[in-house]
Amino acid sequence: MTASKQRVSYFYQPDVGHFYYGPSHPMKPHRIKMAHHLILGYGLYRQMECYRSHPASPNEMSAFHSEDYINFLAKVTPDNLRGYSNQMQKFNVGEYTDCPVFDGLYEFTQLYTGASLDGAVKLNRGDADVAINWSGGLHHAKKSEASGFCYINDIVLAILELLKVHARVLYIDIDVHHGDGVEEAFYCTDRVMTFSLHKYGDFFPGTGHIKDTGAKEGTGFSVNAPLTSGMTDDAYERIFKPVMDKIMEVFRPGAIVLQCGADSLTGDRLGCFNLSLKGHAECVRYTKSFNVPTLVLGGGGYTIRNVARCWAYETSVLLDAELPDEIPYNDYFEYYAPDFKLHLTPEQRENMNTEASLESVRVDLLTQLMALKGAPSVQMAEVPPDFEVMKEDANAERERRSTKESRDGEGMND
């Protein structure tokens, strides 16, 4: 591993924190703005390249999502939704679902998605080693359906972007919920491996069984660690690190997407794990240590003061920067009362995951990955041939254009 400092790019859109799902809804985009202000307060912005991302276009979204679904999201508003009742049912949006229609819904999806795409492009060009978008990571959205507070799946779109340059992309999901939308999108391909650690059993979305390992060419490339309540830092690490080691050995990804849902932290409003900031961020630190181009995204997280703490701390981990435990004064300082400290103390409660159950998950996943050793994908050239062809076509096109321009230029000089 090289000792040189990794180049980190940070993508943020100031408006993204102003959207509001509704009064009793647990998803609060405001947490992204809070995290941003902590990043500013700690001075971390000075150590990264900071960019205002572009809003994703309908055309960019249609790389994964169906056009009728995108058109619906672009048109529906709280004022006209009565005229869309059939489509709302079809696309799982609106009243009686967990995906409400709110003011600026489509613009919100454009902002968080554009930032993830910008991060992926930055990595593809080799202009950064790590790209961060805390507003992204909405892992439940399907091709033609909203789900679990997610409307557009920025992760799938970013992975598709990375696949233009990299033969294999690894997706890691440390949210307390299973990354079902991403797994489903790539379930039948060996070019994307998905690794999700999540609460399983009587818990949303209900998928992510250890025996769900992929299909067709993708058999063995979906890696699921189903866990139960009370996961501690130590227990989490004992699954994450050995499985991660084996994945890197067997799959050898050219790029990684890491979804850092903060609802796996202790004290989350919807989650039931018991991780500290250090335990959660250890996954980030360990992933970074492999020195593979990495897109780092947000995700769930419903105790918003802790979400902001988590993502600010993980930004510091990605920058190899030490942070003092005292929260710096910022616009949202009062949210961090009563202690005004960065780090969290796990709750005094039982870890329902036993030594035996954790060992069983670890052994099953390592066995699954061992079976992939020597699988065709491992022999795959680093850049897939169709990309090489596209590159040649693009070069030929540029060649033609420059020849034409120089001819035109000569004509103009006559």
> What distance separates the 2 farthest-apart alpha carbons in the chain?
85
**pLDDT by residue (tens digit) across 77-87?**
999 999 999 99
Q: What is the pLDDT of residue 5?
A: 86
* Catalytic residue (one of 36, 65, 140, 280): 140
Q: What is the pLDDT of residue 401?
A: 52
Phi, psi of 275 (to 5 degrees): -85, 145
Spell out the alpha helix ranges (H) of 302-381: 304-318, 355-370, 376-379
**Residue owning tokens 């968080």:** 112
Count CA atoms within 13 Å of residue 149 on its CB side: 24
**pLDDT by residue (tens digit) across 76-134?**
999 999 999 999 999 999 999 999 999 999 999 999 999 999 999 999 999 999 999 99
**pLDDT by residue (tens digit) across 143-183?**
999 999 999 999 999 999 999 999 999 999 999 999 999 99
Q: What is the pLDDT of residue 2?
A: 45
Strand 294-297 to 130-133 pairing: parallel
- Region 314-330: mean pLDDT is 98
- Region 302-313: mean pLDDT is 98
Residues in a beta bridge with 8: 130
pTM for the full model? 0.91
Q: Is 140 a catalytic residue?
A: yes
In order of 72, 101, 226, 342, the CA distances from 39 in angstroms are: 35, 30, 33, 12
Residue 231 has which token pair?
């996961």
3-class secondary structure, 244: helix
pLDDT at residue 218 is higher than 60: yes
Residues 6+ apart with CB under 8 A from 20: 28, 29, 30, 102, 103
From the CB of residue 414, how many other CB atoms can be counted at a distance below 10 Å? 4
**pLDDT by residue (tens digit) across 327-365?**
999 999 999 999 999 999 999 999 999 999 999 999 999
Strand 130-133 to 192-199 pairing: unpaired
Closest CA to 292 of 333, 331, 257, 328: 257
Count CA atoms within 13 Å of residue 50 on its CB side: 13
> Which of the 8 DSSP states describes residue 319?
T
Residues 6+ apart with CB under 8 A from 365: 210, 223, 224, 225, 239, 243, 246
Torsion of CA 194, 200, 205, 209, to 10 degrees: 50
Which amino acid would we find at residue 329?
Y
**Mean pLDDT rounded to a whole number for the chain:** 92
Q: Which residue has better confidence, 408 or 287?
A: 287
Q: Tell me how far apart the alpha carbons of residues 90 and 166 are, in angstroms, rounded to a whole number.
A: 35
